[in-house]
Each structure stands twice: as C-alpha cells, then as structure tokens.
Structure 1
Amino acid sequence: MKQLKREQEFGDDPLARRETDNYQNEYVESFVDKWDDLIDWDSRAESEGHFFIDILKERGKHKVLDVATGTGFNSVQLLKAGFDVTSVDGNAEMLSKAFANARDHSFVMQTVHADWRWLNKDVHGKFDAIICLGNSFTHLFEEKDRRRALAEFYAALKHDGILILDQRNYDAILDHGFSSKHKYYYCGDKVTAEPEHVDETLARFRYTFPDDSVYHLNMFPLRKNYTRRLMHEIGFQKVSTYGDFQDKYKDEDTDFFIHVAEKTYHEGE
C-alpha cells in the first residue's frame, strides 16, 4: 500500500501558529524536494561569491559547524573549499536531501540531527566557526528559544570562535512593506516567495512553484538591532553586520543582513 505524502500542517488558523516547533510540520518531503528550485545553487553561488569562505579563511578557521544545513548548499560550498564541515539540521527530511546533494558532488557529508536548543547534547567537540544561514534563525518564535540557541552556539565554539548568522531585512518589511531584488539566497527565477501576512511577531511567506503548488512558512520577523543585542548579551564580544555581502550598505536597500559575532575581542580592531 502506497504511503500518502504528508502535507504541511498549520491548523484551522495559520496566523495563530507562532511556535518554534512548527517548522517540523512545514518542511515536509514534497516541499523539501522543491527547495533547491527556490535556491538555484548556481545563481546563489554566483551572488555570494567567496564571501563566507573569505571570512573564515581570513580568520584562520577550518573546523566549521553548519547548524542550518537545509538541503546542503553552504556545507557543500565549504567542503569544496577544503573546510572540515559537520552539518546539522533539526529536520530529518532536509538532512536526507543534503546528504544526497553532497553525494552528487562527490562528498560524504557528516550529518547530525539536532535541535539547536540542545545542540551540545548531540554535537560533540569544539568548532572554529558556526554558520547559521538561510534566514533560519527566524524559525525561533520565543525569546527564550533564541537565547538558548545562541548560548548553545557560544558553548560549541572554541575560545576564539566566530558565529556567522543571517536574516532577512525584516525591518524594511515591517516598516515599509516587502520588496526584493531576488539577487541573493532565493535566486530561483521560476518561484515566487512573498509575505502573505506580516506583523511584529509573524511573517507568513507564501512560495509558489511552476507546477502551481503552494507552500508556506511561518517565521518570526527579527529586527536587525534586536538580533545584534541578543548576541552581545549572550557573550559575543564583537558583532559586525553586512548588508547583502557588503560592509557598506543602506539598511533600506538591503535584502539580507549577515552578522559575524566574535567570541574574543582582539585589541586594535
């Protein structure tokens, strides 16, 4: 008997689903199968260039923990560049897809299925750097979960480790409405991704694919300075923020912010 594919679950009132754990009901197999159409690996690689690789190499980092592996794009880029990468995700469907994608690029990915809030229970050892990319931190809806996750990241880093974490420019979406150049991250030109509802505690995005299938993600709209403040309060000594991979940018013109949080502050910087 053929097993029916699981569909996304948001309940009778999707706008009321504002819980961290609901992402497990969102990243169902059929959505994960289409995720790479949304990203477009080749276009995303072109838009990012060597940004993350350069940051890691400039700081002498080699052992990297990718805590938001998704379908594996960033892990595979780092493996190609010679980094020692461990790939983590809280969703088993994503990890399975990432492993297959890495295999297609001739790599055997080291994967760990783990929840950020209890990361160090499942992931052992210390890392030079942690990356949390793809707007993934926005899946944490409660401040206690965000603080807990950042504390777990902090604990998994070596004394001079760094955390690279990104997010959509939710400030612009909340204050001025949604617009996107679609040049970064979600580069697939046949997929539309746009918010269906936005308020201070929910950004509900709708994803429409060429076959007319529709999926949604409920996310918490993180403001830039709020994220930076949390990082400092957890213990990171210095936080540098880039806009669309540039150190000089205008907030209102930026699609994505990338925060580089350093555990140790170096004199002279």
Structure 2
Amino acid sequence: MIQPYSKKNKSSSPGAGETDLYQLEFVQNLVAHWDELIDWEARSISEGRFFIDVLQEKSAKNVLDVATGTGFHSVLLLQEGFQVASVDGSQEMLAKAFENALQKNFILRAIHTDWRWLGRDVHEKFDAVICLGNAFTYLFSERDRRKALIEFYAVLEHDGILILDQRNYDAILEGHFSSRKAYYYCGESVKVEPEHVDEKLVRFRYEFTDNSVFYLDNYPLRKTYMQQLMKEVGFQRIKTYGDFKETYHHDEPDFFIHVAEKKYEPAKSK
C-alpha cells in the first residue's frame, strides 16, 4: 500500500506520482519494525476508549477496519466485542496482523484488497468503517481519494459512520511539525521527522533502534479539504477532533480524527 524507502534505496529527490504508491507493498523488514513504532501498550493508554465510545454511541457493532496495518485497532475492537473485518493492501501487513491477533486468542478475519475496489472483495454492509494511522494520506491523486471514499460510503449501512484520521498537515506545511508521541506513534525509541515538505509531498524519515532507516511518502491533506471531500462524496455530518479533543488550537494536534455520518437528512423546507 505504501512505498517504503530504505536507507539503501531512498530516491535522490522527492517524486510523488513516479509509482503507484497505493499498490506497492511494504517490504517485510519495515513490517517487522512497525509495532516498535506504534507501541501497542502505550497507544492503548493514550487513546483510551475514544474509538470504542464513538462506535458505541452510534450503536455500531459490525466494523470494517480499512488499512488495518499490524492489527492494533482490529484487536482492540475484538476485545470489546465488536464484529470486525480487517482489510489491507499489503499481504505482509495482514500476516503480521493475523499473528498479533492470534497471540491475543482471536482469529482475524483478514481481507487482502485495494480500497478503491472494496466492493470487489467485500460483499456486506457495515455499521462503521475505520481508516486510521494516517493511511488515507498514502493516496496521491484526488481521483483515488474520491474513489476510496465512495467505496467506504457504499459498504456502510444507511446510518453508518466513517472514522478517518490524518496527520495535522496544516501545521506541518506551516513549519510547525510536532511528534510528541503522546497519542499515535508512541514508540519512544523511534525517531520520526519530515525530511521533505511541500504542498504535494511530505516524506517522513523513520529511524529504529537497530539503526535501520525508512522513508515514507504522504500526501499533505489539509483539514478543510478533507472535510469538503467527504461531504462531496455524500457524508452529511462531519465532526473533527484534534488528538481526541473536541476543542483545540489549530497548530496543537498531531492528528485530526474525522467522524463522518452517512445518515441521510433531507433538506428542511423553508
């Protein structure tokens, strides 16, 4: 799903669009490092019950975890009694997620597919779709972003919700990058910093404890653009949190979390 650049194969200059970043899979070595970056225990504490509470508030029971990665949120929701299907574009990621779930005594329902054609491999409706871990920003073309959102919308029940997060690229583009590791990437031993920033590409550098270095490309989605895109696809009510808080200063959050409702509300008569 994402094109990783190792220290050996890092390209000499940023070039988003040179390859289809969405279809290319993680190299096995990066997958093996990913849980060090997340730190499941620390992340569980930092998130608390935010996602669980939002899903329960909306009476969601059946959840599609798009971009499941190594399975953190899928396992979390399984532990809370939700029915979960886990999707990822990387077979290596899904294998690691299945292994992680098995260690927690769960059998992961894993689906290897491209988000842009979810309906090809997913043939049921869900109360909620979650797309977390900044994964949506791996899509570099607006056409792909719209197509993926349309697929998310289509697999939702009529009153379903989409929970989608992203880094605070507004702050990054304005020169205010922060990685406090307070909420998302909690691995204290991993160094994360943007190596290149412009309006079409942010390249992050990840350095792990064994001195291995990887580079990941992301498209810098601005918050208001993402909100508008979801509305144009059909989501009617969108609420955006900053690091799980309803009230926040523009530059403060590391991450934005959008909660978008599909439920149709006819226009009020004048």
3-state SS in 2 of match to 1:251: coil
Match of 1:203 in 2: 202
More helix by share: 1
3-state SS in 1 of match to 2:174: helix
Aligned-residue Cα RMSD (Å) equals 1.8
Q: Within 5 Å, give how 1:154-169 maps onto structure 2.
A: 154-169=153-168
- Tell me the CA shift for residue 24 of structure 1: 5.0
Letter in 2 for 1:108: I
Match of 2:55 in 1: 56
Matched, 1:92 2:97: no
Deviations 1:218-248 (A, max 9, x none): 1101100000000000000100000000111
Q: 1:26 to 1:87 in 2, by over 3 A?
A: closer
Letter in 1 for 2:137: T
3-state SS in 2 of match to 1:22: coil
TM-score where L is the length of structure 2: 0.93
- Tell me the CA shift for residue 250 of structure 1: 1.2
- Tell me the CA shift for residue 21 of structure 1: 2.7
3-state SS in 1 of match to 2:110: strand
Kindly indicate whether the alpha-carbon contact (under 8 Å) linking 1:70 and 1:98 is maintained by their aligned counterparts in 2: yes
Matched, 1:79 2:78: yes
Match of 2:125 in 1: 126
Deviations 1:21-55 (A, max 9, x none): 32554621000000000000000000000000000
Distance 1:212 1:126 in 2: 44
- Tell me the CA shift for residue 251 of structure 1: 1.6
- Tell me the CA shift for residue 249 of structure 1: 1.1
Match of 1:176 in 2: 175
Deviations 1:149-182 (A, max 9, x none): 0000000001000000000000000013322221
Q: Within 5 Å, give how 1:1-269 maps onto structure 2.
A: 8=6, 12-18=11-17, 21-23=20-22, 25=24, 27-264=26-263
Deviations 1:59-95 (A, max 9, x none): 1100000011000000000000000000000111100
Corresponding residue pairs, total: 262
Deviations 1:178-237 (A, max 9, x none): 222210110000001110000000000000001110011011011000000000000001
Letter in 1 for 2:43: R
Kindly indicate whether the alpha-carbon contact (under 8 Å) linking 2:70 and 2:93 is maintained by their aligned counterparts in 1: yes
Distance 2:10 2:134 in 1: 24
Distance 1:253 1:85 in 2: 32
Kindly indicate whether the alpha-carbon contact (under 8 Å) linking 1:20 and 1:141 is maintained by their aligned counterparts in 2: no
Q: 1:11 to 1:36 in 2, by over 3 A?
A: closer
- Tell me the CA shift for residue 10 of structure 1: 6.2
Kindly indicate whether the alpha-carbon contact (under 8 Å) linking 1:10 and 1:17 is maintained by their aligned counterparts in 2: no
3-state SS in 2 of match to 1:34: helix
Distance 2:107 2:176 in 1: 42
Structure 1, unpaired ranges of 5+: 1-5
Letter in 2 for 1:57: Q
TM-score where L is the length of structure 1: 0.93
Kindly indicate whether the alpha-carbon contact (under 8 Å) linking 1:172 and 1:178 is maintained by their aligned counterparts in 2: yes
3-state SS in 1 of match to 2:41: helix
Letter in 1 for 2:57: E
- Tell me the CA shift for residue 12 of structure 1: 4.5
